[in-house]
Amino acid sequence: MTALIVTLALHLAAGARAQQARAKAEDKKAEALKEYAGRYELEVGLIPVSTLDVTAAGTELWVKPSNVKRRRLARKGKDSFTDEVAGTPVRFGRDDEGRVVSLTFTYEGEPYTARRVELPAPSSKGNTTFTLKGHAEASLVVLTGSFNNWNQSQLLFAREGDGWVCRVDLDPGVYQYKFIVDGDWLLDPSNPDTAEDEAGNVNNVIEVKGK
């Protein structure tokens, strides 16, 4: 009986050690994926995809290209992954110091390289306020328009109350703008004034009057 108890105890201890080893391996894998997380940006107008937001969730890596659904990236090698929806390769590039600085992906059979950008703090001061209600599950809301050459990584909203707020300084004039919620472009639901741009896109219009 004693020998059986000892054997059982050793078996349980070995199982616990194996479980701890697996947990450590999973933690190490999850930590390694975090270095890829961030925003990657292409020149606006080059192709329909202009930003790619990469997030690490546990031991999985996900990418959200602008205007399409988020998809998982399956690891194939060091810095190499496969888009599980499109089945196309995705590769991260590094600089001379080993930092991840770019992402190369395939669109309609052609490779494109997006550069990594550092997002600023939310824009909280200015003479013009933009608000967006709801979207509680969103992780990133951006204001873009003719006032900043449609930059998609410059003017960030902050969570405020039951929605999002962005304040910016604008000179007097008439501007077109839009919101981007987790990579998806949408009109300002609180502003009925819209106009088409030269490409046929419908945007909101705002007039900033001088004092």
Mean pLDDT per 10-residue interval, the chain, length 211 residues: 67 65 58 91 86 90 89 93 93 95 94 94 94 91 94 93 94 96 92 91 92 69
Q: What is the pLDDT of residue 115?
A: 95
CA-based nearest residue to 11, from 165, 209, 19, 66: 19
* pTM, 2 dp: 0.74
H, E, C per residue of 77-134: ECCEEEECCCCCEEEEEECCCCCEEEEEEEECCEEEEEEEECCCCCCECCCEEEEEEC
Looking at the domain that runs over 34-117, which CATH code has it been given?
2.40.128.50
Q: For 150, list phi and psi in degrees, rounded to 5.
A: 60, 35
Q: What pLDDT does 9 receive?
A: 63
Domain ranges in the chain are 34-117, 128-208
How do 141-145 and 128-133 pair as beta strands?
A: unpaired
Nearest to 130 by CA among 119, 140, 141, 116: 141
pLDDT at res. 63: 94
Domain 128-208 class, CATH top level: mainly beta
pLDDT at 17: 62
Total residues belonging to the chain: 211
